Amino acid sequence: MAGRPFIYRFRNDLRLDDHAGLTVAAARGAVVPLLVIDDALSARLRRSPRRAAYFCGAAANLDADLREHGSRLVVRRGALESEVLRFAQESDAAGVAWSAAYDADGMESDRSLRAALEDLGYAACIVHDAPVIPPEDIATVRGDDSRGYRAFAPYFEAWTARRVKSYESPLLLQFARLQIESQLLPEAGEFGSSRPADAAGARRAQHDFDEFLDLRAVEYAARSRVPSADGTSRLSAHLSFGALSARSVVRAAAERLANPLAIGEQRRSLRLYLRSLARRDFFAQLSWFNPQTAREALQGKMQGFPWSRSHPMLDSWRAGTTGFPLVDAGIRQLHETGWMHPHVRSVAASLLCFDLGVDWRIGQQEWDRWLIEDDDAAATGNWQWIAGVGADMAQFPRIYNPERQRRRFDPDAIYVRRWVEELRHIPVEAWRGAGGDSRQLTLALFADRSYPAPIVDHGRAARHFLRRYREFVEREN
Ligand SMILES: Cc1cc2nc3c(=O)[nH]c(=O)nc-3n(C[C@H](O)[C@H](O)[C@H](O)COP(=O)(O)OP(=O)(O)OC[C@H]3O[C@@H](n4cnc5c(N)ncnc54)[C@H](O)[C@@H]3O)c2cc1C
């Protein structure tokens, strides 16, 4: 390809397949792949050792894939704008493309980089790659003033009606043959992590998805809320680093759904699975159109709600020693694996916000230290949803009773006993009867061991919170 090369700057889109940003760059010139490790990225990776390990493993995989195309990942460390500008000059590139960020800081950094490039006469293309349907595409369908959707149900309806684009055109991808120096690929150690980068990157992501679609997707409806069942796809880390294209996931699931031979259970499961994937886009567009939600509640009526910044039992929640077995199991699963089952996240977050009355931002920050996922928009949207200050427009917050949830979704305590060592000795029959229909656990069950008694009386705490909530809403609105 004649003409000047075009830089593609990777960040959370660490793959070559079905890549909207790479396709845009390739249409403008032979591609030069760049990875800049700036302070913002470094800080994200330093926060969670597992996240750092995932990122470094996925970057190494990307480099290997690029080498198969006769290219390589050029790595630079330093301030984003100066490194990108210097590299554009070195490579005599016509411009730079990259994938849009959906968190407030990332969006600000995107704007500033674009301005710096354009000031010096370079083309700058910010491309929607992470969501299946870009935020503006859905806002257009809505015919709105482009503020996007604040409620999930109508969003999902519009989302389902949109055609999913494909960027599977590897033959069009041409890489520039330039002799350019690269710094060393990132290593987890430089971000203070000693974890090996297992299960990271595009190949592993594709393998995990294929396995899910072939073996487990059919039972998603029945098993996705059962924390012991391994019933969800566990793709969130792969998707958040763009090791897998969400578009190709949706296309593959929709293709199965369109199969006339698909049975009822399979159809129900695939529909629900697509609904889950749409939630990811929903929260991305929510943040895209409402970047202020990184700091404050989406719902105006809840801004200024007096959440506590601390609680005598906050450290017990952090450590997974609340005395509520389902919550403790989830938090310990997070500590050990970098992931927590989605439904257990809701129950554990509810305990923090409602039973302890602690600010959702404290919970978000705490989990951010452990999660592999790197998706601030999803984190904020979900935390606000659970705390009753975001896009869930229910009249009153949905307060989960943690023990009732355990009895419903983990009746034999398979999940709880997997993660909470102190409770392994308690026989199945005891769990089935535990607490009967009462609000609280049967404390005698746990009395003689090291496992703590529940840190709050759930019923009383929930009533107390609801009273405060009602008073605040009536006073302020
Ligand atoms: C309090 C709370 C905090 C959360 N924090 C994060 C976070 O920091 N980062 C993050 O990526 N997700 C977060 N989630 C959403 C969700 O729990 C995780 O994405 C989870 O890892 C999905 O597991 P899975 O891949 O097995 O899901 P599946 O059920 O198999 O869903 C498939 C994919 O759809 C997407 N998805 C499903 N549910 C949601 C959702 N509610 N919101 C956004 N995307 C969704 C994910 O990309 C997921 O991989 C949070 C949820 C709650 C309740």
We report the CATH number of the domain holding residue 37 as 3.40.50.620
One domain, residues 111 and 254: no
CA of 225 from ligand 1 middle (Å) equals 12
182 located within any domain = no
- Is the CB of 217 inside a 6 Å radius of any atom of ligand 1? no
Task: Provide the pLDDT confidence category of residue 438 given band limits of 50, 70 and 90.
Answer: very low
Closest CA to 6 of 102, 82, 71: 71
pLDDT computed for residue 440 by the predictor:
43
- Is the CB of 346 inside a 6 Å radius of any atom of ligand 1? yes
One domain, residues 107 and 135: no
408 located within any domain = yes
pTM of the model: 0.96
The string over 50-71, giving b where at least 16 C-beta atoms fall within 10 Å of a residue's C-beta and e elsewhere, is bbbbbbbbbbbbbbebbeeeeb
CA of 222 from ligand 1 middle (Å) equals 18
Task: Provide the pLDDT confidence category of residue 439 given band limits of 50, 70 and 90.
Answer: very low
Q: Give the range of the structural domain holding residue 14, as residue numbers without chain letter.
A: 1-129
H or E element at residue 129: none
Q: Residue 294: is its pLDDT beyond 70?
A: yes
CA of 343 from ligand 1 middle (Å) equals 9
Report the alpha-carbon distance of residue 64 to residue 139 in Å, rounded. 38
- Is the CB of 344 inside a 6 Å radius of any atom of ligand 1? no
Write down the mean pLDDT value for the chain: 93
Task: Provide the pLDDT confidence category of residue 290 given band limits of 50, 70 and 90.
Answer: very high
256 located within any domain = yes
Q: Residue 213: is its pLDDT beyond 70?
A: yes
Task: Provide the pLDDT confidence category of residue 449 given band limits of 50, 70 and 90.
Answer: low
Write the CA distances from 228 to 208, 330, 425, integer angstroms: 18, 11, 17
- Is the CB of 276 inside a 6 Å radius of any atom of ligand 1? yes
One domain, residues 61 and 154: no
183 located within any domain = no
Q: What are phi and psi of 32, to 5 degrees?
A: -115, 115
101, 129, 157 - which closes a domain = 129
Overall number of domains in the chain? 3
Write the CB contacts of 54 (distance below 8 Å, at least 6 apart in sequence). 197, 199, 200, 237, 241, 338, 372
One domain, residues 22 and 141: no
